[in-house]
Amino acid sequence: GIQVEQSPPDLILQEGANSTLRCNFSDSVNNLQWFHQNPWGQLINLFYIPSGTKQNGRLSATTVATERYSLLYISSSQTTDSGVYFCAVRSNDYKLSFGAGTTVTVRA
Amino acid sequence: GAVVSQHPSRVICKSGTSVKIECRSLDFQATTMFWYRQFPKQSLMLMATSNEGSKATYEQGVEKDKFLINHASLTLSTLTVTSAHPEDSSFYICSAREVSRSYNEQFFGPGTRLTVL
């Protein structure tokens, strides 16, 4: 199956800082999603982004499918941004393969 | 839109009992739903793919007789953990694929935390 690697595994930010999370994948994909898992375990859809760039408020994402990576940008981080960010990809079937996640801690 | 619910959110049971978890797509039809489990500080691992009106497809290493999946309608899938043991304690999450959209984004339920004593 597809291998998904996320970096860094942990990230500690001061409130107001910007950051970049990376997701590398081992094969071509039909779907790539970014999620934020909050402290209660709920996975929140951030982006559906198999290619190109999207922005939603302080968050934006870019996927370069030909080079097999995606980046998630968090700008002006807030304490509510804390949690685990997952990248998940899908190839020819409908199954999503998840990366190990990046744990983000934003300090006030 | 695209809301998925799970019930119960938390369950504690005795070893040897069976537990049923429901997953519902509230505002869309889902011919395919997925069941994941997540251990503390780990990522999500796909257990099985649930297709409406047909048998579920289980991932390698997942016991189909242990984790019974039923997808009786376009908005409901259930996971039954049979004869639960402490090692089955985990966070179980379902997702649903919205087929009406031109792409195949998955939406996740809030999860069910199972503790087996």
Q: pLDDT tens for residues A1-39?
A: 889 999 999 999 999 999 999 999 998 888 899 999 998
Chain A residues contacting B, CB < 8 Å? 30-31, 33, 35, 40-43, 45, 48, 50, 86, 88, 90, 94-101
> How far is the C-alpha of A81 from the C-alpha of B3, rounded, in Å?
21
Q: Most A CBs within 10 Å: which of B106, B107, B112, B113, as the mutation test of the A interface?
A: B106
Beta strands in chain B (DSSP E): 4-7, 10-13, 19-25, 32-38, 44-51, 57-58, 67-73, 76-81, 90-97, 106-108, 112-116
Name which of B49, B91, B111 is nearest A95 (Cβ-Cβ): B49
Phi-psi region of B63 (alpha: psi -120 to 50; beta: other; left: phi over 0): beta
Q: What is the pLDDT of residue B2?
A: 84
Query: What is the structure's pLDDT at B1?
Result: 65
Residue B101 scores a pLDDT above 70: no
Contact call for A48 and B105, based on CB within 8 A? yes
Is A100 exposed, middle or buried (CB count within 10 Å of its CB: 0-12, 13-18, 19+)?
middle
Per-residue pLDDT tens digits for A43-63: 999 999 999 999 999 999 999
Residues of chain B neighbouring A96 (CB-CB closer than 8 A) = 34, 46, 95, 106
8 Å CB contact between B22 and B6: yes
Q: How confident is the model at residue B96 (pLDDT cuts 50, 70, 90)?
A: very high
Higher pLDDT, A102 or A30: A102
Nearest to B110 among A42, A50, A97 (CB): A42
Where is pLDDT greater, at A93 or B37? Answer: B37
Q: How many residues does chain B have?
A: 117
Whether B46 sits inside 8 A of A101 (CB atoms) is no
pLDDT at B108 over 60: yes
Cβ-Cβ contacts under 8 Å for B96 (sequence gap 6 or more): B4, B23, B25, B28, B30, B32, B33, B34, B77, B106, B107, B109
**pLDDT at residue number B100:** 66
Average pLDDT of chain B? 92
The two three-digit tokens of residue B88, written as one number: 């089955």
Continuous segment of H or E residues that includes residue A86: strand A83-90
Q: A31 vs B103: CB contact, 8 Å cut-off?
A: yes
pLDDT value, residue B72: 83
Whether residues A42 and B108 touch (CB distance < 8 A) is answered with yes
pLDDT at B102 (0 to 100): 56
Q: pLDDT at position B54, please?
A: 85
Region of residue B2 (left: phi > 0; alpha: psi -120 to 50; beta: else)? left
| Among A75, A78, A80, A99, residue whose Cα is nearest residue A89 | A99
Query: How high is the pLDDT of residue B98?
Result: 75
pLDDT at B103: 64
Partner residues linked to A70 by β-bridges: A23, A63
